[in-house]
Structure 1
Amino acid sequence: MTVTVSPGKISGAIPIPGSKSHTIRALLIAALADGESTIGRPLRSADTAACIDALRAMGVGITDGVDTTDRAGKSDDAIRVNGRGPRLKAPAGTIDCANSGTTLYLMLSVAALQSFPVRFDGDEQLRRRPAGPLLTALEASGASVDRENGDCVPLTVTGPIGATGQAGHRPQMSIACPTSQYLSSLLLAAPLSEGGIDIDVPLLNERPYVDLTLSWLDRQQIAYERDAYRRFTVPGGQRYTSYDAPVPGDFSSATFFIAAAAATGSDVELVGLDMADSQGDKAVIAMVEQLGARVSTGADSIRISGPKRLSGGTIDLNATPDALPALALLGTTCSQELHLVNVPQAREKETDRIAVMAAVIAALGGRAQELPDGLIVHPVRLKGGTVDSAGDHRVAMAAAVAGLFSDAPVSVTRAQVASITFPGFYDLLSAAGAQLSTADDDLANDGQADGRPHRQGEHR
Structure 2
Amino acid sequence: MDRTVRPGRVEGTLTPPCSKSYAQRALAAALLAEGETVLRNIEFCDDTRSAMHCIETLGAEVRREGEDMLRIRGGLNPRGDRLTVGESGLATRLFTPVASLCGTPITIEGRGTLLRRPMGMMTEPLRRLGVEVSDNGGYLPFRVCGPIRGGETEVDGSVSSQFITGLLLSLPLARQDTTLRVHRAVSTPYLDMTIDTAERFGIEIVHRDYTEFYIPGGQRYRAIDLPIEGDWSAAAMLLVLGATAGEVTVRNISPLSKQADTAVCRALVRAGAAVISEPDAVTAAQRPLRAFEFDATQCPDLFPALAALAAAAEGVSLLRGTSRLIHKESNRAEAIREEYGKLGIEVDLSEEDTMRIRGGRIHAARVCSHGDHRMAMSLAAAALRADGPVEIEGAECVAKSYPGFFEDLAQIRR
Coarse TM-score class (shorter-chain normalised): over 0.9
CA shift, 1:39, in A, is: 0.3
2:202–2:222 contact (8 Å) kept in structure 1: no
Other structure's SS at 2:140 match: strand
Q: Is 1:421–2:412 an aligned residue pair? A: no
Worse overlay, 410-419 or 52-61: 52-61
Q: Which residue of 2 aligns with 1:245?
A: 226
CA shift, 1:335, in A, is: 1.1
2:31–2:59 contact (8 Å) kept in structure 1: no
Q: Which residue of 2 aligns with 1:130?
A: 118
CA shift, 1:16, in A, is: 1.4
1:261–1:305 contact (8 Å) kept in structure 2: yes
Q: Is 1:226–2:207 an aligned residue pair? A: yes
1:328–1:375 contact (8 Å) kept in structure 2: no
Q: Which residue of 2 aligns with 1:24?
A: 24
RMSD: 1.4
CA shift, 1:180, in A, is: 1.1
Deviations 1:215-270 (A, max 9, x none): 11222332232111111111100010000010000010111111111112x11111
Q: How does 1:15-414 map to 2 (within 5 A)?
A: 15-64=15-64, 66-67=65-66, 77-84=68-75, 88-147=76-135, 149-163=136-150, 170-264=151-245, 266-307=246-287, 309-370=288-349, 371-414=351-394
1:9–1:433 contact (8 Å) kept in structure 2: yes
The code of the aligned residue for 1:352 comes to N
CA shift, 1:158, in A, is: 1.0
**Structure 2 alignment gaps of length 5 or more:** none
Other structure's SS at 2:355 match: strand
1:134–1:175 contact (8 Å) kept in structure 2: no
Separation in structure 2 between the aligned mates of residue 90 and residue 26 of structure 1, nearest angstrom:
19
**Structure 1 alignment gaps of length 5 or more:** 68-75, 164-169, 435-460
Other structure's SS at 2:191 match: helix
Other structure's SS at 2:35 match: strand
The code of the aligned residue for 2:30 comes to A
CA shift, 1:93, in A, is: 4.5
TM-score, normalising length from structure 1? 0.87
Separation in structure 2 between the aligned mates of residue 411 and residue 196 of structure 1, nearest angstrom:
54
Other structure's SS at 1:304 match: strand
Deviations 1:104-130 (A, max 9, x none): 110011011111111111112011111
The code of the aligned residue for 1:337 comes to V
Separation in structure 1 between the aligned mates of residue 62 and residue 161 of structure 2, nearest angstrom:
27
Deviations 1:300-347 (A, max 9, x none): 11111110x211121000111111112112211111111110241211
CA shift, 1:401, in A, is: 1.5
1:13–1:271 contact (8 Å) kept in structure 2: yes
CA shift, 1:433, in A, is: 1.0
Other structure's SS at 2:91 match: helix
Separation in structure 1 between the aligned mates of residue 54 and residue 207 of structure 2, nearest angstrom:
30
The code of the aligned residue for 1:130 comes to P
Other structure's SS at 1:408 match: coil
Q: Percent identity?
A: 30
Q: Which residue of 2 aligns with 1:456?
A: none
Worse overlay, 354-363 or 329-338: 329-338
1:12–1:267 contact (8 Å) kept in structure 2: yes
How many matched pairs? 413
CA shift, 1:208, in A, is: 0.6
Other structure's SS at 1:391 match: coil
TM-score, normalising length from structure 2? 0.97
2:241–2:247 contact (8 Å) kept in structure 1: no
The code of the aligned residue for 1:234 comes to I
- Larger Rg: 1 or 2? 1
Separation in structure 2 between the aligned mates of residue 226 and residue 326 of structure 1, nearest angstrom:
32
The code of the aligned residue for 2:222 comes to T
Separation in structure 1 between the aligned mates of residue 254 and residue 202 of structure 2, nearest angstrom:
22
